[in-house]
Structure 1
Amino acid sequence: MNAKKSVQSIEPNIADLANGWLKTYKLNYKLEQEPLNSEIDKALNDYHSKNGGVGGNRPDAKILLQDKNLAYFPILIEYKGYKDKLVKLDTDGQVENRTAKNEPNFKNINSFAVNGAVHYANALLHHTSYTDIIAIGMTGHKDESGKIHHQIGVYYVSKNNLGAGQKIDEYTDFSFLAPENFDAFIEKVKALQLSQKEIDKLKEQREKEIDQSLQRLNNDIYQNEKGLGENDRVYLVAAAIIATLGIPGKVPVLEKSDLKSQSFTNGRDGDILINRITAFLDEKNLPKEKKDLIIRTLSNTLLTENINKVVNGESQLKRVFGKIVDDLGIYYKIGLTTDFTGKLFNEMYGWLGFTQDKLNDVVLTPSYVATLLVKLARVNQNSFVWDFATGSAGLLVAAMNEMLIDAKNNSTSPQELAQKEIKIKSEQLLGLELLSSVYMLAILNMILMGDGSSNILNLDSLKDFDGKYGFGKTDSPFPADAFILNPPYSALGNGMNFVEKALGMMNKGYAAIIIQNSAGSGKAVDYCKRILKKHTLLASIKMPIDLFIGKASVQTNIYVFKVNEEHHKDEVVKFIDFSNDGYTRTNRKKASNNLKDTDQARERYEEVVNLVRFGKGKLKIFTEKEYYEGHIDPTNGADWNQSAPIDTKPTLQDFKKTVSDYLAWEISTLIKQENLVEEDLGK
């Protein structure tokens, strides 16, 4: 520690050298205290500082440059003055700005040049409309002769890499920023690619952060904001997120400073929020009845007297809005394809309000299970997918992601791909949800995912749904060929009533449902028998008992169906024991990660999909103890949960082993007896 103190920082020399280059390139750079533009300055001020407080983020230099396409790129530069203070990376080679507990690592952010610059760039991702930022760190030292040796780190921080930062290249000066070189530099930036594995890892990291942010936010609102019920909290978050999404060039993002906490008619914070949400929904061309329903529902919370009452110059609404934007802003701005509001929903309702039975009914399907259901239902870019108990739309989000990936992988025309993406979101997904607060979350989720909210309907799927589009083509039946479902288990037949209704409205395709496994072993006999008269059971997959740990401890199975083909008694059904799915789950409140891949989880999930589709030729990790091809009796209705039979008939090998063991025992006994005789004779 003392040795470090004896080394003098040469940061002023490094700043002088680097700023000299910027001057040479005639760039309009701004130093630490100087304003760049109001949006960037405000973002840096609003973001938590390098030391963990709020405000006071001041990069040593900053520039706003345009490329040949007139796109703007903020450049944020941080200087240090020690030999080893350029960048601190984690074991995966990522800029290490988070601790093991998933909190900001202010020690690294404060000590290392690149880490500080990447931190500033995240402030812009969080609080501005800029989605592509260049973060530059530079440090150096003097050798014995007094000569300066410098190092430069240049990183790209963007929506595409979820704010993590990617190293662009090695540089010895800043001439890549010079006007004559900048376009070529941006081409290099745009060519950067993350592997799917890297993207998945970053998403996993961000999803853990979301969980923690949601817990913190909900805890704060629950403890410190009196008078807000569970539904109010949900609606407040939904309203804040919609108001801060904005539409470039049409509807500006609502800033915290836009809420003035006034008390005159139509000037209250609630009025301002509702006006901005209305403008957003108008631009999204939502059907009038859907828009009216959203506005009416949100108004019930946002326009109440108490939440708009001004105390000490601030309304409760403004205070809560600020907390939501500060805690959650970055996650929906960087475009995470996750069931964001599903996580929110589980967190919100985990606090209070629902009885345990009801809580089981609205439990969120983990995202990796949602993706499994989608793949088992063979969803692709041309599928028409519906969900009859859509909850927060997690299953539809998973389906939409799969469809968009498939469309991208099979497209050779950017124009056709763009049209296909619009069609997927507006015409190829349909969800039904009866509970109004949950319905609002489903809509919000699909708006966040790029607006697949068109046909999310607030209807009772069993009583009121006629199989037609809810909006747009309201006279046309929705041509569903993929059905995914996690039903409320308190429904008739554990929820098999939803399955019978949905499959009965389909002409072809596949279905994958996750359900309490008693549905297939006697709790829903009549439903099961009727379903098999029209549809084929392809597979029955026993899921881990702790899948919904902390929410519900029920044994679940996934049942996979082929639609509109009667089940014959000779049909082969694939029974898979997926009790060990490779994940270890814990339910500790303070754990940084309650889900760990401890035994090839991803590969196991992939193998299950292949086994259901192609049969036992795909066995790799699993053995024939976990995979069994058998039959069910279509007239039984209670034999859907089978396991591989244990063969009790002895084999020749068993016989040989038994004889061998017996002979070994007999020889051992004889030797012992001989030893005893010898001992007696010896006496």
Structure 2
Amino acid sequence: MAKKEVVTDIWVHGLLQEAKIHLDPQGSSILEIDQALKTASKSGSGKVGFPEYVGVVKDFLLVIENKADLSRHVKLDASGVISLDPVDVKNHAINGAVFYGKHLAKNTSYKKIIAFGISGDSKKHRISPVYIDETEYYRELPEVESFISFSAENIDEYYVREVLKEETDTEKELAEILRDAAALHEDLRNYGNLKDIDKPLIVSGILLALREAESKNFSIDDLTGDVVVTDGQKIFNAIQANLTRSRVAPEVKKDKILSQFSLFKNSVRLNEVHATLAKTPLKHFTEFLNSKIYRSIKYTKSSEDYLGRFYGEFMSYSGGDGQTLGIVLTPKHITDLFCDLVAIKPDDVVLDPCTGTAGFLVAAMHHMLSQTENENEKKKIRQERLHGIEDQEYMFTIATTNMILRGDGKSNLINGDFLKENPSKLQLKQATVGMMNPPYSQGSKANPSLYEISFTEHLLDSMSEGGRVIVIIPQSSVTGKTNEEKSIKANILKKHTLEGVITLNKDTFYGVGTMPCIAIFTAGEPHADDKECKFIDFRNDGYKVSPHIGLIETEQAKDKKQHLLDVWFDRMDADSKFCVKTTVEADDEWLHSFYYFNDEIPTEAEFEKAIGDYLSFEFSMIMQGRRYLFGGEDNAQA
């Protein structure tokens, strides 16, 4: 075996270990497969033949064939299909993988086989899966960057999405959530005549009241439309009891939340029996939320921000998205990615100073709790290690409700203006992780403190030394489009370290029109002149826009995320098209597109095309009388 191929084998073995997949090299410990390989010679002689790796994940048989040279990735025949000529099978990765896959499909009982043709090394490579069934039929699948989609945890979902081309349970659940949100929004409008700002408060208040049903202090059956003790009063009483039961403190915080829920008592329309419904709108909403939403929030262990999802849907159905208030709610896959990029741990103290619906805190809590079995540690996470600040009272109420519904009744949420908080005072929280999606498009020369990069600086100044800070902000924030923003960038580097910036999918905030990026810093440590930052192009993140649903995850998303994390944590080298490592200046545009240059040597075909394009351009200019562009005389007629 060539030395280069050994390097490829070692790299592939590392990818398999990372995905927690165990495959056997050069043979199989499974008797049935081992017997089949005794007649699997690539030459077709009927003698023994071994792929680089083979093994089983659940009921799938995985086969891997490697080549060190990218030019040996695949050979197609004259018809444009994978050649199974013995020479091509021997010399090309995909051809060899398909050969072994078809042989094993014919000679074993395995009915679902995924063969991988892999070429290159950790920096430049191609990984191509091909599905083969028991009839020896095969289908080429999209290229991947890792084996994460083929782990025991993910392979069934991959099969449903990429092979069967069907919706997964997660996708069906999301579509159902969106349908329910649309239906509830319609009912809130038709039966409640509610303002947009009040709709999420109705939802969150009812969900709190439903928690009291477990203590027998609230029952949907008690919502009878009584004119003395109204349904709204009963729900309000249940909300008040649940806030007390959840030990929401201090008292002023509980009172502030209750004042937001006073509309339950004060709205005549919500408490009158509706002729069509034959019940009050509040009872109708409560029945709907109990059956459709409450159980999802209470019993799920997911980091999905259901109330945030609902709020976003309400706003979009109302013809707005919150942009007038600078509200851009963060999708779940981004809140989860934040936790992974800062490698969040159970003993971290998390601060989100622009809490919104508490999506970041929900995600952080989920990730932190999943890493410990110690009940005392879990209690500390819930009660001491999650901090948030939210300026708008109704959003503060929704955030508090969201945390209570997730079992965090003592979350340290503050209703206040983050920019007016003294950073030295906030440092007393000893936050080790800062996460933020600040208000967008609020800053101006007259109000430079409202620039997104200004929020970022204020958060960095509020962290403990060495704290990890991660923010999602518009790309324009890191380019320094105004002198004020350039000055803020320079100040940041004087006191803090920029670790890198990740350019995101333009549809991350679908429907909002924001081009976002993620910026990651280390607080309290001045940026060294020779510090190399990572600038990553993650626009192709595996998410796409689906009609009537919005941004959805494709099967490539897990794989692309794993590749991003591998590159970010230096577990893998990357092509400069994906990641550039470089020193920075404050005046630089902190984006991959600013630092990237194509360092690939062009192929002969690319060189010939470039020359041809130039000659065509030169000929066209000469024919237009512009020979002077090339050092000749201008023959154009006056």
1:265-344 matches, within 5 Å, as 267-287=229-249, 288-311=251-274, 314-337=279-302, 338-344=304-310
2:522 is the counterpart of 1:558: no
Report the Cα distance in structure 1 between the residues aligned to 2:424 and 2:352, rounded to whole angstroms. 12
Report the Cα distance in structure 2 between the residues aligned to 1:284 and 1:643, rounded to whole angstroms. 50
1:120-159 matches, within 5 Å, as none
Offset of residue 354 of structure 1? 4.9
Using CA pairs under 8 Å that are at least 6 residues apart, name the structure with larger relative contact order, 1 or 2. 2
Aligned mate of 1:516, from 435, 457, 474: 474
2:324 is the counterpart of 1:358: yes
Report the Cα distance in structure 2 between the residues aligned to 1:498 and 1:394, rounded to whole angstroms. 18
Query: Compared with structure 1, are the counterparts of its residues 351 and 648 closer, same or farther at alpha carbon in structure 2 (3 Å cutoff)?
Result: closer
Task: Give yes or no for contact 2:576–2:598 (8 Å, CA) kept in 1.
Answer: no
- Deviation string 1:466-519 (CA, Å, 9 cap, x unpaired) is 6658xxxxxx92111111111111233641121111111222221111110111
Report the Cα distance in structure 2 between the residues aligned to 1:610 and 1:329, rounded to whole angstroms. 37
Offset of residue 270 of structure 1? 1.4
Task: Give yes or no for contact 1:574–1:627 (8 Å, CA) kept in 2.
Answer: yes
Offset of residue 527 of structure 1? 1.3
Query: Compared with structure 1, are the counterparts of its residues 628 and 355 closer, same or farther at alpha carbon in structure 2 (3 Å cutoff)?
Result: closer
Aligned mate of 2:568, from 597, 607, 612: 612
1:639-678 matches, within 5 Å, as 639-643=590-594, 645-647=596-598
2:205 is the counterpart of 1:239: yes
Aligned mate of 1:418, from 360, 365, 375: 375
Report the Cα distance in structure 1 between the residues aligned to 2:176 and 2:240, rounded to whole angstroms. 30
1:43-192 matches, within 5 Å, as none
1:486 alignment partner AA: N
1:448 alignment partner AA: L
Task: Give yes or no for contact 1:302–1:317 (8 Å, CA) kept in 2.
Answer: no
Aligned mate of 2:186, from 198, 210, 219: 219
Task: Give yes or no for contact 2:346–2:368 (8 Å, CA) kept in 1.
Answer: yes
Aligned mate of 1:374, from 315, 322, 339: 339
2:536 is the counterpart of 1:576: yes
Report the Cα distance in structure 1 between the residues aligned to 2:600 and 2:235, rounded to whole angstroms. 73
Report the Cα distance in structure 1 between the residues aligned to 2:551 and 2:218, rounded to whole angstroms. 35
Offset of residue 219 of structure 1? 2.1
Offset of residue 441 of structure 1? 1.4
Report the Cα distance in structure 2 between the residues aligned to 1:299 and 1:655, rounded to whole angstroms. 72
Offset of residue 253 of structure 1? 6.2
Report the Cα distance in structure 2 between the residues aligned to 1:549 and 1:227, rounded to whole angstroms. 28
Aligned to 1:122: none
Report the Cα distance in structure 1 between the residues aligned to 2:544 and 2:245, rounded to whole angstroms. 45
Task: Give yes or no for contact 1:236–1:302 (8 Å, CA) kept in 2.
Answer: no
- Deviation string 1:297-352 (CA, Å, 9 cap, x unpaired) is 10134333332234556333223323332332331232342201110110122233
Task: Give yes or no for contact 1:376–1:511 (8 Å, CA) kept in 2.
Answer: no
SS of the residue corresponding to residue 314 of structure 1 reads coil
2:589 is the counterpart of 1:629: no
2:239 alignment partner AA: I
Aligned mate of 2:559, from 571, 592, 603: 603
2:501 is the counterpart of 1:549: no
Report the Cα distance in structure 2 between the residues aligned to 1:197 and 1:252, rounded to whole angstroms. 43
Task: Give yes or no for contact 2:322–2:328 (8 Å, CA) kept in 1.
Answer: no
Aligned to 2:218: 254
Report the Cα distance in structure 2 between the residues aligned to 1:560 and 1:350, rounded to whole angstroms. 30
Query: Compared with structure 1, are the counterparts of its residues 656 and 576 closer, same or farther at alpha carbon in structure 2 (3 Å cutoff)?
Result: closer
2:403 is the counterpart of 1:441: no
Report the Cα distance in structure 2 between the residues aligned to 1:565 and 1:209, rounded to whole angstroms. 47
SS of the residue corresponding to residue 584 of structure 2 reads coil
Aligned to 1:50: none
2:565 alignment partner AA: V
Task: Give yes or no for contact 1:583–1:595 (8 Å, CA) kept in 2.
Answer: yes
2:384 is the counterpart of 1:427: yes
2:490 is the counterpart of 1:539: no
Task: Give yes or no for contact 1:544–1:556 (8 Å, CA) kept in 2.
Answer: yes
SS of the residue corresponding to residue 345 of structure 1 reads helix
- Deviation string 1:399-445 (CA, Å, 9 cap, x unpaired) is 1111111224xxxxxxxx11111110111011111112211211111
1:393 alignment partner AA: A
SS of the residue corresponding to residue 584 of structure 1 reads strand
Report the Cα distance in structure 1 between the residues aligned to 2:529 and 2:578, rounded to whole angstroms. 22
Query: Compared with structure 1, are the counterparts of its residues 467 and 298 closer, same or farther at alpha carbon in structure 2 (3 Å cutoff)?
Result: farther
Unaligned runs of 5+ in 1: 1-91, 94-193, 409-416, 470-475, 663-683
Offset of residue 220 of structure 1? 2.5
TM-score normalised by structure 2 residue count: 0.63
- Deviation string 1:94-114 (CA, Å, 9 cap, x unpaired) is xxxxxxxxxxxxxxxxxxxxx
Report the Cα distance in structure 1 between the residues aligned to 2:225 and 2:153, rounded to whole angstroms. 47
Report the Cα distance in structure 2 between the residues aligned to 1:209 and 1:419, rounded to whole angstroms. 37
Offset of residue 529 of structure 1? 0.8
Task: Give yes or no for contact 1:378–1:482 (8 Å, CA) kept in 2.
Answer: no
Report the Cα distance in structure 1 between the residues aligned to 2:439 and 2:535, rounded to whole angstroms. 24
Report the Cα distance in structure 2 between the residues aligned to 1:296 and 1:655, rounded to whole angstroms. 71
Offset of residue 633 of structure 1? 1.2
SS of the residue corresponding to residue 350 of structure 1 reads helix
Query: Compared with structure 1, are the counterparts of its residues 355 and 402 closer, same or farther at alpha carbon in structure 2 (3 Å cutoff)?
Result: closer
Task: Give yes or no for contact 1:541–1:575 (8 Å, CA) kept in 2.
Answer: yes
Query: Compared with structure 1, are the counterparts of its residues 356 and 244 closer, same or farther at alpha carbon in structure 2 (3 Å cutoff)?
Result: closer
Report the Cα distance in structure 2 between the residues aligned to 1:657 and 1:343, rounded to whole angstroms. 50
Report the Cα distance in structure 2 between the residues aligned to 1:247 and 1:309, rounded to whole angstroms. 23
1:520 alignment partner AA: V
- Deviation string 1:169-216 (CA, Å, 9 cap, x unpaired) is xxxxxxxxxxxxxxxxxxxxxxxxx95777996555434422221122
Offset of residue 546 of structure 1? 1.5
Task: Give yes or no for contact 1:520–1:641 (8 Å, CA) kept in 2.
Answer: no
SS of the residue corresponding to residue 228 of structure 1 reads coil
Aligned mate of 2:490, from 486, 506, 529: 529
2:226 alignment partner AA: Q
Report the Cα distance in structure 2 between the residues aligned to 1:421 and 1:537, rounded to whole angstroms. 32
Percent identity for Structure 1 against Structure 2:
27
Report the Cα distance in structure 1 between the residues aligned to 2:582 and 2:409, rounded to whole angstroms. 40
> Pairwise CA RMSD of aligned residues?
3.3
Aligned to 1:383: 348
Matched residue count: 441
SS of the residue corresponding to residue 407 of structure 1 reads coil
Aligned mate of 1:483, from 434, 440, 444: 434
Aligned to 1:459: 416
- Deviation string 1:564-610 (CA, Å, 9 cap, x unpaired) is 11112211011111111122223x22x5x741415x21121122223
Aligned to 1:80: none
Report the Cα distance in structure 2 between the residues aligned to 1:197 and 1:330, rounded to whole angstroms. 28
Aligned to 2:616: none
Aligned mate of 1:397, from 358, 362, 382: 362
2:292 alignment partner AA: D
SS of the residue corresponding to residue 372 of structure 2 reads helix
Task: Give yes or no for contact 2:233–2:264 (8 Å, CA) kept in 1.
Answer: no
1:612 alignment partner AA: W
Aligned to 2:34: none
1:482 alignment partner AA: V
Query: Compared with structure 1, are the counterparts of its residues 196 and 400 closer, same or farther at alpha carbon in structure 2 (3 Å cutoff)?
Result: farther
Report the Cα distance in structure 2 between the residues aligned to 1:274 and 1:497, rounded to whole angstroms. 39
TM-score normalised by structure 1 residue count: 0.59
